Amino acid sequence: MEGIDRIWQTALAVMLAVAGGLARMLSEREESRRKWGVILSELFVSAFAGYMVMLAARASGLDGDWLSVVSGVSGWLGAHAVDLVLTVVQDKLNLKKKDEGE
């Protein structure tokens, strides 16, 4: 039963991330964001960001409501959340950016 709960938790996290991305788009009120291609691409980025941040949060020991919160917020942040995950991965793997030097 634990596997089913994990699947539902993941599905909820992705839905909240999409909702976060949609909320951000609706709050910006830019006409250029009303095109279907732009809307779909932004929602996809929000879902991806929400899923990646949810996995990172789960790996960090967060669970339950916190996974939902971080997923929704990362959906709102979109590509910025993906950048945050990249920074965490680089730190975790002890990778340095080329412009930081040795």
pLDDT at 18: 94
pLDDT at 51: 93
pLDDT above 70 (res 99)? no
Maximum mean pLDDT: which of 29-33, 44-48, 64-68, 94-98:
44-48
pLDDT at 100: 57
Secondary structure (H, E, C), 54-86: HHHHHHCCCCCHHHHHHHHHHHHHCHHHHHHHH
Q: Which sequence spans correspond to the domains of the chain?
A: 2-100
- How large is the average pLDDT for residues 59-67? 88
Q: How confident is the model at residue 3 (pLDDT cuts 50, 70, 90)?
A: confident
pLDDT at 1: 54
Query: What string of DSSP letters covers 12-50?
Result: HHHHHHHHHHHHHHHHH--GGGGSHHHHHHHHHHHHHHH
**CB–CB of 52/86 below 8 Å?**
no
Q: Which residues contact 58 (CB under 8 A, 6 or more apart)?
A: 67
Q: How confident is the model at residue 30 (pLDDT cuts 50, 70, 90)?
A: low
pLDDT at 81: 92
pTM of the entire predicted model: 0.78
